[in-house]
């Protein structure tokens, strides 16, 4: 029994083997399919990055499975190790593929088209003609012109070889842009990935809710929420100021469908120059490389609360968040600064155009035509002094007593605009002075957007070139035969070859033949696919 002759792969051999596997088309194909499959869970499960509220809700609703899903990255699919691993491997494979191809291509650009095969008879697309009216040089000239064309940009790249006395061959190639497009496309994908990654490191993003007549400064402290990339430094924030002068909205009378939102703002530069602008949903304002987007809007009721002693304990506009198309808005009014007694808290709804015909109030139109506030009152400790940041849209009621509300016999406080209502239990009064509009702005700065756009364009052009530019080779061999006492004959033999399927190849060869012979033959258009 003879021993099996197993080739031994050293470490280097294994690495070479792995590298060759990784950069093979088969593995790239597999990775592409894996990438498609791995992207699916991100659309099925809520994602922390996209919708933290819904994700938290999902986690709360599924206490058995959610912790495991969270651990496995199913709520952060696109930054999970497994998703990252797939696309990083894919890009390594891509780089490993295009570097050698770029070198091959660079070499092909420097070398003439491959020389004419010794025999052209084996090609599927082949033509043969003879002429008696011209000599070898005249025919050569016509062949060159037929292949190059008359335009500035030669149709074919042509190389001529004198093979023997009285015999010449031409090898021609076109479609160099096909591979160039292919390479540009794949390089652009790397560009897009790098730009995108850099953008996430260099960006900043702030959200500000601004009531009419107020404003915000482009500074970290001025925003309600503020996020930055890991490489972002505070110095790159220009300190412009934006004031919301006016907010107008249009709704259709019949069904309250939103027609238009316009925020009229004043942009004040660091040097004090001011300019007026309109921001709409699809029309952000550009300010020093940052963009200011109109992301939302709503109503802020202006209320004055007097405590049991008749002192003004609170006065101002409070942002209420709309919950439906009629802008039924929910909000919280916290009144910590009472001169006597317990702190007060209100939770409830603003109905911009109230209708009480069905008993309980509801809003029937999103504009503040006939606004009412329907509030539940709490008294006790608001919990603001514990040093823990509180959500302004939520009332912490664990140390408070409910005074009015659905479960209690006391009806909620209902106030129309301009009215003042006494609070139950002699806790004071509340006045509903007015309603002002507010707008929610997102400010975003990403210096890589222009690169992202640029690489997207080159990717698009590249992929189109790589798919639609035909790559063809044409060979022509001319032979001069001079029989004694007869005019010279030039035999012309030609063949064409395409990279991949190319339904225009036969036509190309006919065109070249006609240009050489000067004849015009009817083009045979086949309707066969």
Binding of other proteins by 205 (CB under 8 A): yes
How many other β-carbons are positioned within 10 Å of the β-carbon of residue 496? 24
Per-residue mark of binding to other proteins, 356-395 (x: CB under 8 A): ----------------------------------------
Among 1, 8, 26, 253, interactor with other proteins by CB under 8 A: 26
Neighbouring C-alpha atoms within 13 Å toward the C-beta of 351:
17
40 to 79, contacts with other proteins by CB under 8 A? 40, 42-44, 47, 49-50, 54, 77-78
Kindly state the smallest distance separating residue 175's Cβ from other proteins, in Å. 15
Binding of other proteins by 527 (CB under 8 A): yes
Choices 30-38, 63-71, 375-383, 396-404; region in contact with other proteins by CB under 8 A = 30-38
Binding of other proteins by 444 (CB under 8 A): yes
Kindly state the smallest distance separating residue 149's Cβ from other proteins, in Å. 24
Read off the tokens for 56. Answer: 């938290």
How many other β-carbons are positioned within 10 Å of the β-carbon of residue 269? 14
Binding of other proteins by 467 (CB under 8 A): yes
Kindly state the smallest distance separating residue 255's Cβ from other proteins, in Å. 9
235 to 294, contacts with other proteins by CB under 8 A? 252, 257-261, 280-284, 291, 293
Kindly state the smallest distance separating residue 312's Cβ from other proteins, in Å. 38
Among 222, 304, 456, 489, interactor with other proteins by CB under 8 A: 456
Instruction: Give the total of residues touching other proteins (CB under 8 A).
Output: 54
Kindly state the smallest distance separating residue 498's Cβ from other proteins, in Å. 12
The torsion angles phi and psi of 506, rounded to 5 degrees, stand at: -60, -40
384 dihedral zone (left: phi>0; alpha: psi -120 to 50; beta):
alpha
Token pair 């997207």: residue: 456
Token pair 């015009």: residue: 520
Closest CA to 139 of 389, 493, 445, 444: 493
Secondary structure (DSSP) of 197-252: HHHHHH-EEEEEEEETT-EEESSGGGSSEEEE-TT--GGG----EEEEEEEEEEE-
Q: In what order do the strands lie in the sheet with 258-268?
A: 215-217, 241-251, 258-268, 274-279
Read off the tokens for 185. Answer: 């496309």
Q: Which residues make up the interface to other proteins (CB under 8 A)?
A: 25-26, 28-29, 32-33, 35-36, 39-40, 42-44, 47, 49-50, 54, 77-78, 196, 205, 252, 257-261, 280-284, 291, 293, 295, 442, 444, 449, 452-453, 456-457, 459-460, 463-464, 467-468, 500-501, 503, 527-529
């Amino acid at each position: 029994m003879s021993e099996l002759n197993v080739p031994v792969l050293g470490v280097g051999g294994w690495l070479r083997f792995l590298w060759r596997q990784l950069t093979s088309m088969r593995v790239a194909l597999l990775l592409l399919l894996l990438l498609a499959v791995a992207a699916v869970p991100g659309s099925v499960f809520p994602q922390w990055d996209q919708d933290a509220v819904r994700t938290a809700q999902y986690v709360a609703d599924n206490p058995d499975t959610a912790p495991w899903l969270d651990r496995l990255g199913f709520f952060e699919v696109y930054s999970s190790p497994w998703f990252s691993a797939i696309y990083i491997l894919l890009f390594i494979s891509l780089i490993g593929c295009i570097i050698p191809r770029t070198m091959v291509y660079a070499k092909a650009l420097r070398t003439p088209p491959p020389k004419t095969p010794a025999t052209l008879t084996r090609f599927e697309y082949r033509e043969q003609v003879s002429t008696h009216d011209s000599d070898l040089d005249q025919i050569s000239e016509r062949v060159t012109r037929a292949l190059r064309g008359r335009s500035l940009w030669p149709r074919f790249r042509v190389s001529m070889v004198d093979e023997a006395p009285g015999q010449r061959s031409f090898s021609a190639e076109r479609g160099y842009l096909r591979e160039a497009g292919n390479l540009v496309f794949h390089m652009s994908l790397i560009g897009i990935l790098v730009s995108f990654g850099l953008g996430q490191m260099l960006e900043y993003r702030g959200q500000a809710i601004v009531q009419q007549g107020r404003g915000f400064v482009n500074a970290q402290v001025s925003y309600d929420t503020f996020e930055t990339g890991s490489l972002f430094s505070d110095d790159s924030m220009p300190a412009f100021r934006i004031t919301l002068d006016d907010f107008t909205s249009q709704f259709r009378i019949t069904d309250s469908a939103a027609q238009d939102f316009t925020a009229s703002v004043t942009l004040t530069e660091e040097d004090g120059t001011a300019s007026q602008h309109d921001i709409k949903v699809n029309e952000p304002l550009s300010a020093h490389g940052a963009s200011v987007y109109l992301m939302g809007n709503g109503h802020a009721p202006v209320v004055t609360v007097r405590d049991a002693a008749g002192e003004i304990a609170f006065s101002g506009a409070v942002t209420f968040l709309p919950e439906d198309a009629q802008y039924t808005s929910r909000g919280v009014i916290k009144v910590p600064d009472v001169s006597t007694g317990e702190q007060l808290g209100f939770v409830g709804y603003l109905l911009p155009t109230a209708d009480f015909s069905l008993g309980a109030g509801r809003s029937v139109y999103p504009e503040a035509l006939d606004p009412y506030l329907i509030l539940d009152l709490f008294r006790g400790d608001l919990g603001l002094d514990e040093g823990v940041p509180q959500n302004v849209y939520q009332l912490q009621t664990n140390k408070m007593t409910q005074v009015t509300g659905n479960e209690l016999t006391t009806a909620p406080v209902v106030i129309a605009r301009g009215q003042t209502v006494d609070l139950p239990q002699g806790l004071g009064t509340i006045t509903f002075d007015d309603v002002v509009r507010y707008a929610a702005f997102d400010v975003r700065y990403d210096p890589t957007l222009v690169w992202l756009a640029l690489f997207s364009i080159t990717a698009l052009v590249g992929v189109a070139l790589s798919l639609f530019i035909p790559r063809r080779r044409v060979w022509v061999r001319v032979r001069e035969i001079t029989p004694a006492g007869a005019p010279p004959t030039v035999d012309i033999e030609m063949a064409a070859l395409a990279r991949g399927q190319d339904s225009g190849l036969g036509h190309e060869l006919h065109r070249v033949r006609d240009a050489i012979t000067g004849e015009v033959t009817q083009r045979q258009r086949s309707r066969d696919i």
